[in-house]
Amino acid sequence: MPRIEAAGETLSYLKAGGGAAGLGEPGVDEQVMLLIHGFASDARSWGLNQPALAANATVYAIDLPGHGLSPAQDFGGLDRQAAVVIAAILALSPKAPVHIVGHSMGGAIALRAASLRPDLVRALSLIAPAGLGGPPNLAFIEGLLAMTDQASARAVLQDLVANPAILSPQIVTGILAARNRPHTYAAWQAMAQVGAEIWARSADLHAALSALSMPTQIIWGGQDRVLPPPPPPAVALAGLHRMAGYGHVPHMEAFRQVNPLIADFGV
C-alpha cells in the first residue's frame, strides 16, 4: 500500500478512481472522497464501497494511526486524530475539497475535522457516527480487546451486524489476525480511550454538527447494537437515513443501498 506523511504520522492508504490509471493528484474540479474507518478496522473495510464510489470520483481510504498498516507515533485524543485527517486531506487532495465518509469512531473524527477546517470539506457522510447516538456498547469494545480465537471472535462480532450469517469465516479470521498483530492490541487500547473521550464530548459534537455549513447526511442501521441510533430530533439538521433491518455496518450489510446515497450526495 502507498503511504503519506500526515501530522507526524505515516498513513497507509488505498486509492481508486481518478482516471484510467488512477495516477496523480486530483485536479481542482474533480470529485474526491476520503473514507475513514472505525475502531479496530482499516482501509480494507471499504472493499464493498470504494470500487463503486470510484466510478465518478477519486476515492482514498486511509488506515488511521495504529490500524491496518499504519504505525502510530501519537494517538492523542479526538483533536489529534482530526489533525491527522486534515493533514491527510492536504497531502492527498491539495487542490480540491473532499467528501469525507466516516464510520463509527471515524465518523466522529470526520465531524471534528470538518468543523475545524470546513474549507477542506465539500460534503460529509457519517455512518453510525460515535458521539451522536446512544451510549456505546462497552461490552463489545472489551470483547474486541479480549478475543483470542475463532469462537470468541465470532461471539463478539455478531453484535456488528443484524444478520450474523454474513460473518464468513474469512471475515472473522481477518479481524482476528489484525487483533493479533504485534502493535494492534496497544493501538486498540489507545483508541478505546479516544472513543471514551468522544462519548464524553457528545454535546460538543452535536453542537459542531448543527454549525456545519456543508451538505451533511447520516446513515444508521436501525438494528445497531454497538452504537444505538439517535431519535430523529437529535440530528434534525442533518439528513438521517435510518436503515431498518441492518446493524452497525450498513455500508457492508446494505452496500447496494448505501453506495448510491454516498455517490450522489453533495455533487
| C-alpha closest to that of 89 among 54, 57, 121 | 121
The total of structural domains in the chain comes to 1
243 close to 220: Cβ distance less than 8 angstroms: yes
Q: Of all residues in the chain, what percent are helix, strand and coil, respectively (each to 5)?
A: 45, 15, 40
pLDDT of residue 237: 56
Q: Mind listing the pLDDT tens digit for each residue in 24-52? A: 566 656 799 999 999 999 999 999 999 99
* pLDDT, mean of residues 132-155: 93
pLDDT band at 236 (very low <50, low <70, confident <90, very high): low
Dist CA 162 CA 156 (whole Å) = 13
Here the cell at position 64 is 488511521
Predicted confidence band at 149 (pLDDT cuts at 50, 70, 90)?
Answer: very high
Q: Which 3-state string (H, E, C) describes 173-240?
A: HHHHHHHCCCCHHHHHHHHHHHHHHHHHCHHHHHHHHHHCCCCEEEEEECCCCCCCCCCHHHHCCCEE
pLDDT bucket at 91, cuts 50 / 70 / 90: very high
Q: For all residues of the chain together, what is the average pLDDT?
A: 92
CB contact set of 48 (below 8 Å; sequence gap of 6+): 251, 252, 255, 259
pTM for this structure? 0.94
Task: Identify the CATH number of the domain in which residue 121 sits.
Answer: 3.40.50.1820
pLDDT exceeds 70 at position 247: yes
Q: What is the pLDDT of residue 142?
A: 94
pLDDT at 218 over 70: yes
Q: Which domain holds residue 201?
A: 3-263
Per-residue confidence (pLDDT) for residue 28, from 0 to 100:
59
**Helices 169-179, 184-200: crossing angle, 10 deg rounding:** 90
What are the phi and psi torsion angles at 180 (to 5°)? -90, 5
What pLDDT sits at residue 26? 63
Residue 256 pLDDT greater than 50, yes or no: yes
109 half-sphere exposure, CB direction, 13 A CA radius: 32
Write out the three cell numbers for 11: 498513513
